[in-house]
Amino acid sequence: MLDVNLKAPEHYINRELSFLDFNRRVLAQAHDTSLPLLERIRFLGISCSNLDEFFEIRVAGLKQRLELGTSAGGPDGMTVPEQLSAIHTLAAALVKDQYELLNQLVFPALAEQGSRFVNARTMSAEQRAWLSEYFAKEVEPVLTPLGLDPARPFPRIQNKSLNFIVRLSGKDAFGRDAELAVVQVPRSLPRIIRLPASQQFPGVTYFVFLSAVISTFVAQLFSGMAVEGAWQFRVTRNSDLFVDDEEVDNLLRAIEGELAERRYGAAVRLETSLECPEDITTFLLRHFALTRDDLYQVNGPVNLNRLTAIYDLVDRPDLKYPAFTPSIPKRLIAREEVFAALREGDLLVHHPFESFAPVIDFLRQAASDPQVLAIKQTLYRAGPQSPVVDALVSAAREGKEVTVIIELMARFDEAANIQLATRLQEAGAHVMYGVVGYKTHAKLIMVVRREQGRLRRYCHLGTGNYHPNTARIYTDYGLFTCDEAIGEDLHELFLQLTSPTRVATMHKVLQSPFTLHEALLDKTKREIAHARAGKPARIIAKMNALIEPQIVQALYQAAMAGVKVDLIVRGICALRPGVRGISENIRVRSIVGRFLEHSRVYYFHNDGAHDMYCASADWMERNFFRRIEVCFPIENPVHRDRILEDLEVYLADNTQAWELGADGTYTRLTPNETPPVNAQSVLLKRHAENPNA
């Protein structure tokens, strides 16, 4: 084996730049004319919301480090200033692409399909008259123009809110010269407005952005003054919550306090309309303490996320993906009681190809079954009006012992989770918030049932959240089991989450922050030993992100020893495949398609013994060392073969797959002379035609 320094920076890809590359792959879906039009618009919106969160969390974190005097980088060696400079270059190009796509492709394509957007220049006299009345009745009453002068300082601007800065001339009612004013737009107003049907063009549906309406009629807010111009702007702020673990005595109250301040965190990005004058942008940058590298000027509405509303406003199923009905495992169809079905053996489900309904039925039956004594569950994201929470509330009211571990620090779902916690507590459930300093990211349900004089534990372990809506658009695996060893492991794990206790010795489950990282390194070393002994050796891993340095180095060592390594990494990947003498045996691909690839699967050939796990954890430092994660074995040979077959389909995809090169760039694969393979379509068809037992 070559004597190389596997810690050398050139062997790592910067995580921030890797994320921006992932977001470009998302935006490529919006460019893909083979996709239905409204789905392309949805991908455009996703790329914008992804970028928002990137600035709110990642860029904000880099700026904080710079303010604290820390400029050192990570394994890739890029300093913080170098990262911020590179981020601006790539993000500016991405934003430019987003708006070119909007103006040159999306708007014309929508118009061809009978849906047109108008603005001040293109609206008809009839439309202008209707919008003038709409502005007077629906918009103006909730707007509060704020003049800027020594007695009226610049108002506080909420994170990602729509605002206008207006240049004025003339004197106001008190004889004062007025030059600038700010108009803040409440979030309660719809950002896209459908216009009445036009008699002149009866087959066309017209829409207008709220920003265009305000721009057109803003002068009505400043009676007696001349409006020289009005330009929209939006500020993105640091939205990461900080709770000092050592100072907190009430986690819920601490987070509630942080949430109130999140809207007004430090500014990290300024977006303005493209035509905003230089002196106005300079004024705004100075006010928000930002530099030119923090400025993004856009040719359209400053928040393209709002465009996704058109998906529901346009009633055109032909412009969307064909509807599908997730299948139900045959064994659950044959038996009304889920517990009886599970006593026949483990049950594996693959969302969204298979329905999330069995999970809800599992909880509902547990809630109403007089033999069920207790239900314990973790909740990271559950969504509003959650049937999962409904079932837990029902169980608590039925007198079951219900314990729910709710992660209050689930990013951007903190407020929703606080409401869920309150509702569950009011129903009589025991609500805990896990372990301070460690996010509870594991996806677990344990039902304790009395059967024939003894207690039996029925469990569900998953790779994704207990969220019925995302279960239709995220790919995830879930395992139902009444295996005694796994039941004992979950019992110990819930004890860790609810009470002071020792680190448990698990029988089958691997857990962060205690055993998962070390176990993966050991299993990789075992593959290396097999390869050196001349035996077949292979690793296949599917996840959302791969950046943890020790894991990356272990994979390099495996590749150098002759282990074949296939990685399916949807988003961030710090590893460089295909580097001569180091990672020539590693392939990395990213699948970006109709569904968000969210499942985590780890497979080790193990000299033909086929060691396979599903998990809630990506291969990141936070997942290994700062979160409570669970990795569970797939022991049923039928289930193991089925997942392995799924992985091989993903590795054969040549229509939605992107391959990572040694230079850090991704190339979209095309069928060329081979038959086209779309992994998600293959799995949809397979489950529709042959539901699993």
- Locate 24 and state its tokens: 């470009």
267 neighbors 63 (Cβ within 8 angstroms): no
H or E element at residue 443: strand 443-451
595 neighbors 471 (Cβ within 8 angstroms): no
Half-sphere exposure of 210 (CA within 13 A, CB side): 23
Q: What is the percent of the chain with per-residue pLDDT over 90, rounded to a whole number?
A: 81
Contacts of 148 (CB under 8 A, 6+ apart): 154, 179, 180, 181, 182
Tally Cβ neighbours within 10 Å of residue 74.
18
Closest CA to 60 of 305, 261, 265: 265
Helix intervals (H) in 103-217: 107-112, 125-134, 210-217
Per-residue pLDDT tens digits for 286-334: 999 999 999 999 999 999 988 999 999 999 999 999 999 999 998 998 7
119 neighbors 212 (Cβ within 8 angstroms): yes
Whole-number Å distance between alpha carbons of 688 and 682? 10
Label residue 64 exposed, middle or buried (CB < 10 Å: 0-12, 13-18, 19+). middle
Tally Cβ neighbours within 10 Å of residue 129.
11
Q: Sorting pLDDT into bands at 50, 70 and 90, what band is 246? A: very low
- The average pLDDT across 507-515 equals 97
Tally Cβ neighbours within 10 Å of residue 122.
12
Q: Annotated catalytic residue: which of 350, 351, 441, 460?
A: 441
Per-residue pLDDT tens digits for 639-652: 999 999 999 999 99
Residue 441 annotated as catalytic: yes
With 90 as the cut, is the pLDDT of residue 23 above it?
yes
Residue-level pLDDT at 334 = 78
List the beta bridge partners of residue 504: none
Closest CA to 633 of 550, 511, 505: 511
Per-residue pLDDT tens digits for 599-614: 999 999 999 999 999 9
Check residues 174 and 472 and name the one with the higher pLDDT. Answer: 472
- Locate 249 and state its tokens: 């005595």
298 neighbors 274 (Cβ within 8 angstroms): yes
pTM: 0.93
**DSSP class of 310:** H
Whole-number Å distance between alpha carbons of 147 and 196? 34
Check residues 337 and 513 and name the one with the higher pLDDT. Answer: 513
List the beta bridge partners of residue 658: 590, 668
Ordered domains of the chain (ranges, CATH):
10-319 (3.30.1840.10), 330-505 (3.30.870.10), 511-689 (3.30.870.10)
